[in-house]
């Protein structure tokens, strides 16, 4: 009898320490899959470059998407941005869209009261480094003030989960390379745009400290490039591009005579600025991985992750790679440095690989190939030729 009781106790202990943890793991996984199938995600800046590509990935993974954008940097397709119309064509799904500015508290509140929103992915922001130096107050009002308003409305409506599209600019002039997440932030930010991202990060950290129910993931990424492999959506800046790749592609397609390279005297191998470029689809998937992380039962407070390839490319290396991908010669001239720029910046993204199960899978050839596919099919961007 004693021997039987001993064996029964042994079986119970084995069950407790082996089966029960497996049950928790299963419960966690089922929770993630359930959230993926039934969650409604508000995407601010959903009509923009990164936003629209992320909406594609959300819809592919069975999320319901509510997108809002003030249309400042979107080509209008009447009732919604042309980018989101094409997203609907790519996915076969419908995107509910609101032409709303994140500073409009009343309009935001109405959206939250109309839809049962589970989490937010926050892209909406002005984003041009050079422009931010010229009109800093506009950037602070929009990026910082708008984000604070969004957080207030979220709290009012009981939605305390957000993935924030931050930036590597929060690291300022790098103290070491590659940059890890424990690199100091806010020290020596070289432009108001970067400062707005830093300030919003600090606001979100303070919100988490004040209320333990909040869950925040800060995604610090570098230079998104490329386009959806369908060639239906891509980067289409209004006016003169502030970013390198759309400028190169517009030169290749004949919209611009030549590329202006800002600075040829940096302490880099060829004198031009070095950046960590990341394919837009990899970046969009990174936002989904962050969303899955934030839905985990044991996730609390805030966490920052770098998204990048860990490999820096100079401006002239990107020009060469694009020429090879497109078969076009890219004319360029080297001019003076642009205020607010730094010489080199690239990431260590090993933490995202470890904790988000994410890694960039597309290389510079894919970035250039997909950019050219988009631009060649759409010489005038989202405008009809």
Tell me which residues are annotated as active site. 193
Q: What are the backbone dihedrals phi and psi of residue 339, each rounded to the nearest 5 degrees, phi first?
A: -60, 135
Please state, in angstroms and rounded to a whole number, the distance separating the CA atoms of residues 374 and 232.
Answer: 6
Please state, in angstroms and rounded to a whole number, the distance separating the CA atoms of residues 357 and 286.
Answer: 9
Please state, in angstroms and rounded to a whole number, the distance separating the CA atoms of residues 27 and 287.
Answer: 23
Alpha-carbon distance values, 80 to 48, 66, 99 (Å): 12, 12, 7
Q: What angle do CA 274, 368, 58 make, to 5 degrees?
A: 100
Task: With beta carbons less than 8 A apart as the criterion, state whether 19 and 26 touch.
Answer: no
Q: How many CB atoms lie within 10 A of CB 269?
A: 12
Please state, in angstroms and rounded to a whole number, the distance separating the CA atoms of residues 187 and 375.
Answer: 37
DSSP symbol at 170 = G
CB-based contacts of 7, cutoff 8 Å, min separation 6: none
Supply the DSSP string of 65-113, one letter for each residue.
EEEEE--TTS-EETTEEHHHHHHHHHHS---EEEE--TT-HHHHHHHHH
């Amino acid at each position: 009898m004693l021997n039987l009781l001993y064996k029964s106790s042994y079986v119970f202990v084995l069950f407790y320490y082996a089966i029960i943890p497996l049950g928790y793991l299963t419960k966690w996984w089922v929770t993630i899959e359930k959230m993926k199938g039934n969650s409604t995600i508000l995407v601010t800046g959903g009509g923009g470059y990164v936003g629209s590509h992320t909406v594609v990935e959300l819809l592919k993974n069975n999320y319901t998407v509510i997108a809002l954008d003030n249309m400042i940097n979107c080509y209008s397709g009447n009732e919604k941005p042309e980018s989101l119309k094409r997203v609907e064509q790519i996915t076969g799904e419908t995107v509910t869209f609101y032409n709303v500015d994140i500073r409009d508290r009343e309009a935001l509140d109405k959206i939250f009261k109309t839809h049962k929103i589970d989490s937010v992915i926050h892209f909406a922001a002005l984003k041009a480094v050079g422009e931010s130096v010229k009109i800093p107050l506009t950037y602070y009002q929009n990026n910082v003030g708008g984000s604070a308003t969004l957080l207030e409305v979220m709290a009012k409506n009981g939605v305390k989960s957000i993935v924030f599209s931050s930036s590597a600019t929060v690291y300022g002039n790098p103290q070491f390379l590659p940059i890890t997440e424990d690199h100091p932030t806010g020290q020596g930010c070289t432009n108001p745009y970067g400062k707005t991202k830093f300030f919003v990060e600090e606001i979100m950290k303070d919100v988490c400290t004040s209320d333990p129910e909040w869950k925040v993931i800060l995604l610090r990424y570098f230079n998104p490039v490329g386009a959806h492999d369908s060639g239906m959506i891509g980067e289409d800046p209004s006016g003169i591009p502030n970013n390198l790749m759309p400028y190169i592609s517009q030169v290749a397609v004949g919209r611009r005579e030549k590329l202006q390279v800002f600075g040829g005297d940096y302490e880099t191998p060829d004198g031009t600025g070095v950046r960590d470029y990341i394919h837009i689809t990899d970046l969009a998937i990174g936002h989904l991985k962050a969303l899955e992380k934030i839905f985990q039962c044991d996730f609390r407070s805030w966490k920052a992750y770098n998204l990048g390839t860990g490999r820096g490319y100079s401006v002239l290396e990107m020009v060469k790679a694009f020429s090879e991908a497109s078969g076009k010669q890219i004319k360029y001239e080297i001019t003076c440095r642009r205020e607010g720029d730094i010489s080199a910046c690239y990431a260590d993204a090993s933490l995202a690989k470890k904790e988000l199960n994410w890694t960039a899978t597309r290389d510079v050839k894919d970035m250039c190939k997909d950019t050219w596919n988009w631009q060649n099919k759409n010489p005038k961007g989202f405008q009809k030729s």
